[in-house]
Amino acid sequence: MTAPTFAPEVEQAIDRIRADVADLHGYLVSNGLVVWTGGNVSGRVPGADLFVIKPSGVDYDDLAPHTMILCDLDGAVVPGTPGSDRAPSSDTAAHAYVYRNMPDVGGVVHTHSTYATAWAARGEPIPCVITAMADEFGGDIPVGPFAIIGDDSIGRGIVSTLTGHRSRAVLMQNHGPFTIGRDARDAVKAAVMLEDVARTVHIARQGGPLILIPRDAIDALFARYQHVYGQPTEKELH
């Protein structure tokens, strides 16, 4: 089948996102967030109604830019493009629904990381009891509804839970975590940080009652981390 023709700038963006998404899967492995072939990263293609996602059932060692799969925002594989002979991730419909309904999202990640999934198995939000969690997520990690893989039900649950919420992570009940970000790397960072706080809060609770951070302190921590932390000072700008 003849590959579709895209404008040169879109072709360049597709190539860049293919490389990014292929590379970022390595962070899921190195941070212990996945086992076997489970989990997936996707990235929106800037300037086009397209995204790139991992193929289904492929070993992480075999992932490369040309094995990534290009999809439209309905989750359909773009025929004639590299990787289009394989099936995309079983979570593709969920990713597509997020991209269609959350235009500011540029990356989506799904894992079955142990501690975050344990909270999801209980259907329990992770309470905001450490400052790193306030910084990164702006409060509790919410729980999304139970949904079966195969259509966009999981995507609907992600969008309904995270719309208007500061968290970039959601615990889909009895399933596992999904994270979103401004790009694929940002979503992977959220997945790594989510597992870290899920583990820390779990361990803390074994020792006794948790101490919640006051709402005003969470707001201040989140604002500083998101808008001040890591930004150049006025002196550095000049």
- Encode pLDDT of 96-144 as tens digits: 999 999 999 999 999 999 999 999 999 999 999 999 999 999 999 999 9
β 143-144/50-53 pair status: unpaired
pLDDT in tens, 20-56: 999 999 999 999 999 999 999 999 999 999 999 999 9
pLDDT in tens, 216-227: 999 999 999 998
Q: Report the top-level CATH class of 8-229.
A: alpha beta
Query: At residue 183, what is the residue type?
Result: D
Inter-helix orientation angle 184-206/8-30, to 10°: 20
Dihedral sign computed on CA atoms, order 133, 227, 26, 92: positive
Residue pair 131/138 in contact (Cβ under 8 Å)? The answer is: no
For the chain, the farthest-separated pair of C-alpha atoms sits apart, in whole angstroms, at: 62
Looking up tokens 């990356």 gives 107
Q: Residue ranges of the domains in the chain? A: 8-229
pLDDT in tens, 155-190: 999 999 999 999 999 999 999 999 999 999 999 999
- Rounded to whole angstroms, how far apart are CA atoms 160 and 136? 20
